[in-house]
Amino acid sequence: MDTHAALYEQGKQRLETLRSLPRRHDETIFDKMAQHGITRRDFMKWSASVTAMLALPLPFSTLVAEAAELADRVPLIWLHMAECTGCSESLVRADTPNLDTLIFDHISLEYHETLMAAAGWQAEENLEHALETYKGNYLLAVEGAIPTANNGAFLTVGCKGHTGLEIIKHAAEGAAAIVSVGTCASFGGVQAAYPNPTGAKGVHEVISKPVINLGGCPPSEKNIVGTLMYFIMFGKLPALDMFNRPKWAYGARVHDNCERRGRFDAGEFVEEFGDHGAKEGYCLYKVGCKGPYTYNNCPTERFNHHTSWPVLAGHGCMGCSEPNFWDDMADFEKPLGRQLLHGLDATADTIGAVILGATVVGIGAHAVASVFAQAKED
């Protein structure tokens, strides 16, 4: 059996198991779709596009469809730590009228402080109840970094005054899988930038279980939804890169799929914001774009119902899905130059050469850098 056939078999068995579990919502996904005026045909189109996004062959789209249908069997607990709520905001921005949103409507979201009606003592009860009732089965999504300095006292949540650190350790114990949503939960984020006064860390640094990191400040709702769908479908983590990010979303450099890549190859650069090149859509490398050092699917998926992404709006990528980018990639409006950056310093040299006019050399060296990056990840 080839790899895909084995994976397909695994998905089928997983979904069969889920099907045997009790539903937590009375309505099926199809009822919900009907209420939103979404046809079964739309649904199959969505399944196909999620399948493509997850880098799976088209036959898997029937599994995607079935996984969406069975999403209500997987309880989701979403915790807020040291954060700005931008990731939750990204989540509620899913397109309209849209199936991603329906998935969340349909998923069993047991705890989410920004959205839930209960407050205070009653909210804390909901959390304790969910952690206990669904022990071993729930998906844990974490938004925000974990302050660790001074025993984590820079963050307490709930009437009982538990620290964020205590809550994460406790919640991680019973989780079937843990997803760090956004750069703060993944790598510490902005509060972990030098000098990191609160000792903020990514979730994987404070617990001893595998964690999926969804870098991005915030990650697009596509990357959040896709990751959850993968887990529902296969009951395991997807293939991950060297920073535990799903390869299907973070496998290619922003630079590789950038709409301005042709300008880069032609040596056409914006020299100053608002200049002729800016009006013409030239490459933003010289005004600080970090696309060559950043792994994410922003150019293909974009944000807010595909409305835009930073490079389209004329601002370079700031590298927000990479660890330590606040320190390693600043200044954000200047080219990175020759810094060592997880093995990709070769790329920086390359770009230096391109700016000097050696475009052809640049493209060749680019390919070399890509191979190098691949080797590091594997």
Partner 1 sequence: MSQRVVIDPITRIEGHLRIEVEVDENNVIQNAWSSSTLWRGIEVILKGRTPMDVGLIVQRICGVCTYSHYRCGTEAVENALGVKIPLNAKYLRSLMQTSLYMHDHIVHFYHLHGLDWVDVVSALSADPAKAAQVALKYTDKPIAAGEGELKAVQERVKGFVEKGQLGPFANAYWGNGTYKFTPEQNLIALSHYLKALEVQRVAAEMLAIFGGKQPHPQSLVVGGVTSVRDMLSPARLQEWKQKHAYVTDFIKRAYQADIVMAAEAFGTEPSVLGGVNVKNFLATDDFVLADGEYMFNGGVIMNGDLAGVSDINPDLIAEDVTHAWYSADTAQHPYDGTTVPNYTGFVERDTVYGKLPTLDGDGKYSWVKSPRYNGEPVEVGPLSSLLVSYARGNKVVVDAVNGLLARTGLPVEALFTTLGRTAARMLQTVIVADEGLRTFDALLTNIQSDEATYVKPEIDPAKEYVGHAMIEAPRGMLSHWIRIKGGKVENYQAVVPTTWNAGPKDANGKIGPYEASLIGLKLEDPTKPLEVIRIIHSFDPCMACSVHVMDFKGASLSEFKVSPNGL
- Three-state DSSP class for 75? strand
Q: Which of residues 248-267 bind partner 1 (CB under 8 A)?
A: none
Q: Which of 108, 180, 296, 321 binds partner 1 (CB under 8 A)?
A: 108
Q: Which of 41, 120, 132, 375 binds partner 1 (CB under 8 A)?
A: 120
Identify the CA nearest to 203 among candidates 149, 142, 161, 150: 142
Neighbouring-strand partners of residue 177: 139
**Smallest separation, CB 115 to partner 1 (Å):** 5
Q: Tell me if 121 contacts partner 1 by CB under 8 A.
A: yes
Q: Judged by CB under 8 A, which stretch of 81-89, 171-179, 201-209, 250-258 contacts partner 1?
A: 81-89
Q: Judged by CB under 8 A, which stretch of 79-87, 203-211, 225-233, 241-249 contacts partner 1?
A: 79-87
Query: In sequence order, what are the residues at sequence separation of 6 or more whose Cβ sits closer than 8 angstroms to the Cβ of residue 191?
Result: 82, 145, 147, 184, 197, 198, 200
Bond from prior residue into 218 cis (ω within 30 degrees of 0): yes
**Smallest separation, CB 2 to partner 1 (Å):** 39
Q: Which of 29, 70, 71, 109 binds partner 1 (CB under 8 A)?
A: 109
Size, binding site for partner 1 by CB under 8 A: 94
Q: Tell me if 315 contacts partner 1 by CB under 8 A.
A: yes
Q: Tell me if 156 contacts partner 1 by CB under 8 A.
A: yes
Q: Judged by CB under 8 A, which stretch of 42-50, 131-139, 235-243, 270-278 contacts partner 1?
A: 270-278
In order, the DSSP letters of 254-282 are GGGG-TTHHHHHTT-B--STTSHHHHHT-
Structure token pair of residue 103: 């998935």
DSSP 114: T
Q: Which of residues 157-196 bind partner 1 (CB under 8 A)?
A: 157-164, 166, 189-191, 193-196
Q: Tell me if 114 contacts partner 1 by CB under 8 A.
A: yes
DSSP 170: H
Interatomic CA distance for residues 49 and 53, integer angstroms: 6
Q: Tell me if 330 contacts partner 1 by CB under 8 A.
A: yes
**Smallest separation, CB 11 to partner 1 (Å):** 27
Q: Whose Cβ is closer to partner 1: residue 100's or residue 377's? A: 100
Q: Which of 13, 45, 133, 197 binds partner 1 (CB under 8 A)?
A: 197
Identify the CA nearest to 68 among candidates 13, 97, 123, 106: 106
Identify the CA nearest to 170 among candidates 157, 182, 183: 157
- Three-state DSSP class for 328? helix
Q: Tell me if 307 contacts partner 1 by CB under 8 A.
A: yes
